[in-house]
Structure 1
Amino acid sequence: MTLETSDHEELRPIPIKAAHYPSLSGKGVLITGGGSGIGMYLVEAFCAQGARVGFIDINAEASARVADVCEQETGNRPQFRIADLTDIGQLKAAVAGLRQSLGPLTVLVNNAGNDDRLPVEDITPEYWDERFNTNLRHQFFTAQSVLPDMAEGGAIINMGSNSWMQGVATLICYTTAKSAVQGLTKCLARELGSRKIRVNSIAPGWILTDRQVTRAKKVFQDKFDDYLAKQCLKEFLLPPDVARMALFLAADDSRMITGQTFVVDGGVV
């Protein structure tokens, strides 16, 4: 089984019509890492719901392209700010800028992350800290930054991974950070529940974004079918599969769901 993609074009799977959530219309939504991968599909999915969407990314060119595509596909142009999320000052300034443009941000999807691989012997203290700053720390500080907007309630969705549940080799910094997302989610849900703020996380499996397909072809050419064999459902996992779960968790339809992690991996774990 093969999955083809251009070297210059983001993988765009055949769309399946998503559910419509009236409660998301007009709602202020913030997505981190919205310029590529799963993030760009999250941006498009929330734009299609009629939400007021803002996203933060480090890549200005990619972000502008996502905004253009979303406007063409949905008629709803998202706003974006450029920031390095490992710099908390830049992060807070980006959140403030989007708030000024869009109004209160009552849905947060903490999506940004990076799953670089390195053998145990090659990991330095500096690399460890940089990976945690990339995959974990900004989730807390972004949530902290939007709390003033959620005085009447809100929804926070943290992006985890099923990789720590499998114990994937050469990913120890990433998997350790992503396992901590579950603890972050549980504690925030407990502390913020009295404010009517729901906090959940999504743990995706191997989602075939353009980056993952390109890397798999170069490094893991024989792994597509191996991973598919682990799944109960024998279809490739695509970014909209994650986006649809995020829509549900952001909408009022999930109003009594909090502190939970939802695994979207086709039944690997």
Structure 2
Amino acid sequence: MTSFATFHDLDNASVFITGGGSGIGAALTEGFLAQGAKVAFVQRSDASAFVSDVSGKYAHDPLFLPCDITDIPALKKTMQSAAQAHGPITRLVNNAANDTRHTVADTTVGDWDACQNVNLRPHFFTAQAAAPMMKAQGYGTIVNFSSISYMMGMAGMAGYVTAKAAITGLTRALARELGPDHIRVNALMPGWVLTQRQMELWATPEDLAAHLDRQCLHEHLAPRDIVDAVLFLSSQASRMMTGQAMVVDGGVAVSG
């Protein structure tokens, strides 16, 4: 992991990341570790190979807590375990998501609810669990992963797009309510990041070329490109930023 910037206040910080063992999440976990942070992460699939790969490289090894984030009581329990191991959580990153494609015609009520249970509901309840810890410490940051998909009005995954739009609204509501306790809440809105999953399932040569044409910067995004933006939002370097949506997409969507 190559660091472009050092955020000194992240050294020894207690960080909790959802979906932190693969794709963008794995890059985030390693990015925080490289800053000297103590990182706990949850993931439903086995992340022991990733943990083994990065263990011993940094001052702290990652703490992997297996969990299905749709099980809110279990998710909150892992957050308590993380706090017991690393101290009260002061940096929360809601990264986990599932962007499986689904058509309007074929989506059932169960499919819709399952989509929201992964892509939206955990963002609120992790914040609910972390907020008292952050308040007791006198500060905290929450970064919620949204997406430019709703800004683009993407077809073929209406439930996912809806959840990502809602995350931006949730971020603003949380920022307003938690701000008096010096807790900052921001949204990170990535473009098309070419993780292994994206490359295996949806990244056809034609779609890759078409998307690259939409970007101002004609270079595909990799997980590495998202890390420093999250570190910045999690650091006191952004201490007066809250309720914002930061876009990192190579110049597809325009905000402001």
Fold match by TM threshold 0.5: yes
Q: Would you say 1:204 and 2:190 are equivalent positions?
A: yes
How far residue 65 of structure 1 moved from its aligned partner, in angstroms, is 1.8
Name structure 1 gaps, 5 residues minimum: 1-14
Contact 1:68 1:77 in 2 (8 A): no
Distance 1:18 1:68 in 2: 25
| Alignment partner, residue 42 of structure 2 | 56
Q: Normalising to structure 2: TM-score of the pair?
A: 0.95
Aligned-residue CA RMSD (Å):
1.1
Contact 2:36 2:59 in 1 (8 A): no
Distance 1:80 1:146 in 2: 18
Query: Superposition pairs for residues 247-258 of structure 1, below 5 Å?
Result: 247-258=231-242
Which of 27, 30, 33 in structure 1 is aligned with 2:13? 27
| Alignment partner, residue 142 of structure 2 | 156
For 2:151, give the aligned amino acid. Answer: M
How far residue 199 of structure 1 moved from its aligned partner, in angstroms, is 0.3
Contact 1:80 1:98 in 2 (8 A): no
Distance 1:93 1:228 in 2: 42
Query: Superposition pairs for residues 90-101 of structure 1, below 5 Å?
Result: 90-101=74-85
Q: Normalising to structure 1: TM-score of the pair?
A: 0.91
Distance 2:134 2:86 in 1: 14
How far residue 135 of structure 1 moved from its aligned partner, in angstroms, is 0.1
Contact 1:156 1:250 in 2 (8 A): yes
| Alignment partner, residue 227 of structure 1 | 211
| Alignment partner, residue 129 of structure 1 | 113
Tell me the SS of whatever aligns to 1:121: coil
Tell me the SS of whatever aligns to 1:55: strand
How far residue 74 of structure 1 moved from its aligned partner, in angstroms, is 2.9
Q: Report the number of matched residues.
A: 251
Name structure 2 gaps, 5 residues minimum: none
Residues 99-154 of structure 1: CA deviation (Å, up to 9, x unaligned): 11111110000000010111110011110000000100001001111112102110
Tell me the SS of whatever aligns to 2:64: strand
Distance 1:233 1:221 in 2: 18
Relative to structure 1, is the Cα distance of residues 75 and 210 closer, same or farther in structure 2, using a 3 angstrom cutoff? farther
| Alignment partner, residue 115 of structure 1 | 99
How far residue 43 of structure 1 moved from its aligned partner, in angstroms, is 0.1
| Alignment partner, residue 24 of structure 2 | 38
Contact 1:157 1:249 in 2 (8 A): yes
| Percentage of matched positions with identical amino acids | 45
Contact 2:72 2:125 in 1 (8 A): yes
| Alignment partner, residue 176 of structure 1 | 162
Contact 2:131 2:178 in 1 (8 A): no
For 2:217, give the aligned amino acid. Answer: L
Tell me the SS of whatever aligns to 1:120: coil
Contact 2:19 2:42 in 1 (8 A): yes
Distance 2:29 2:191 in 1: 20
Contact 1:48 1:76 in 2 (8 A): no
Which of 115, 118, 126 in structure 2 is aligned with 1:142? 126
| Alignment partner, residue 5 of structure 1 | none
Tell me the SS of whatever aligns to 2:16: strand
| Alignment partner, residue 247 of structure 2 | 263
Distance 2:161 2:57 in 1: 35
